[in-house]
């Protein structure tokens, strides 16, 4: 189907039969065909990226709730005087928040523009 549209456009351009509207319609058809295939792949990639951001955000909010409760108790409170709570409720959520983007790195997950060239 893609080749048919391209062939028709090429023939019309050679013969000079295009009045502009035919070419516009063919371009729109070609763009739709390309977008339908790429859109599904890009949508999946965006959902993966969004889920990574959601996991990271939940971990940061969890840490914020812990820190608020810890500091609400004061400098001699139970949470601030016991190291295990800081390790579990402060360190682990931040570790998960940061390492999420090691596995779901935006460079690999987000869609690439076809016009972007690498450094190769």
Give a three-class secondary structure readout of 47-90.
Answer: HHHHHHHHHHHHHHHHHHHHHHHHHHCCCCCHHHHCHHHHHHHH
- Alpha-carbon distance of 116 to 100, in angstroms, equals 26
Q: What's the pTM value of the predicted model, to 2 decimals?
A: 0.61
- Alpha-carbon distance of 78 to 42, in angstroms, equals 48
pLDDT over 70 percentage in the chain: 58
User: Does the pLDDT at position 30 exceed 80?
Assistant: no
CA-based max dimension of the chain: 87
Q: How does the average pLDDT of the chain come out, rounded?
A: 77
63 C-beta neighbours (distance < 10 Å), count: 18
Q: 61 is written with which tokens?
A: 């909010």
User: Does the pLDDT at position 58 exceed 90?
Assistant: yes
Does residue 73 sit in helix, strand or coil? coil
**pLDDT band per the 50, 70, 90 thresholds, residue 49:** confident
- Alpha-carbon distance of 51 to 101, in angstroms, equals 11
Would you state the pLDDT for residue 44?
A: 78
Tell me the average pLDDT across 60-80.
93
Q: Are 22 and 53 in contact (CB under 8 A)?
A: no
User: Does the pLDDT at position 11 exceed 60?
Assistant: yes
**pLDDT band per the 50, 70, 90 thresholds, residue 26:** low
């Amino acid at each position: 189907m893609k080749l048919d549209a391209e062939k028709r456009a090429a023939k019309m351009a050679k013969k000079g039969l295009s009045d502009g509207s035919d070419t516009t319609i063919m371009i729109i058809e070609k763009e739709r065909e390309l977008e339908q295939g790429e859109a599904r792949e890009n949508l999946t990639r965006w959902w993966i990226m969004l889920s990574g951001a959601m996991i990271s955000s939940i971990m940061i909010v969890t840490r914020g709730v812990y820190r608020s409760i810890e500091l609400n108790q004061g400098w001699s409170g139970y949470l601030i005087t016991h190291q295990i709570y800081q390790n579990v409720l402060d360190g682990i959520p931040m570790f998960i928040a940061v390492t999420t983007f090691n596995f779901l790195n935006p460079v690999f997950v987000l869609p690439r523009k076809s016009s972007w060239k690498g450094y190769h």
